[in-house]
Amino acid sequence: MDCVMITTDILDSVALRENLPDHSCCGALVQFEGIVRDQNEGKKVIEIEYECFDKMAKKELGQIIGEAKGKWPIHEVFIAHRVGKVTVGETSLVLFVMSSHRREAFEASQYIIDELKKRVPIWKKESYEDGKTDWIACHH
């Protein structure tokens, strides 16, 4: 069964992958991780604090998964998004997409991430080396 998780816990993609159901028909598993990087637009980033409208985020993610399944023959989608403070090098997002063949898993993964950035009510506040903070609007 597809799964959407929003958590303050550290995301361990190896452990999360072990919980995926067994789909013997799937020859492809695409895994994407979003990781907090140490710079943004020339500023040195220390950590990012994620905020989320939990109920609506889960609903939108569920809709996006439904759309992806309508567009591509994929069998399983798992999305985990971390909220709260996430430091540089830590994972903020884990996505798994399973399908029979690679092409649909790659394309569906791209679609899911692009739509997540546009529509899922999650925000991030970056903290910089100089002590300043800023709410970020994603244009990427």
Partner 1 sequence: MKIKVLLFAKLREIVGKESVDLELPERTTALGALEALFEDKKQVEQMREYLLFAINQSYARPDAILKEADELALIPPMAGG
Instruction: Give all strands of the β-sheet with 3-7 in edge-to-edge order.
Output: 3-7, 74-82, 91-99, 28-35
Contact (Cβ atoms closer than 8 angstroms) between residue 105 and residue 97: yes
Beta bridge partners of 33: 94
Q: Which stretch binds partner 1 (CB under 8 A): 21-29, 47-55, 69-77, 99-107?
A: 47-55
Does residue 8 interact with partner 1 by CB under 8 A?
no
Does residue 81 interact with partner 1 by CB under 8 A?
yes
Does residue 75 interact with partner 1 by CB under 8 A?
no
**30, 93, 97, 98: residue in contact with partner 1 (rule CB under 8 A):** 93
Does residue 43 interact with partner 1 by CB under 8 A?
no
**51, 66, 73, 129: residue in contact with partner 1 (rule CB under 8 A):** 51
Percent composition of the chain: helix, strand, coil (DSSP 3-state, to 5): 30, 40, 30
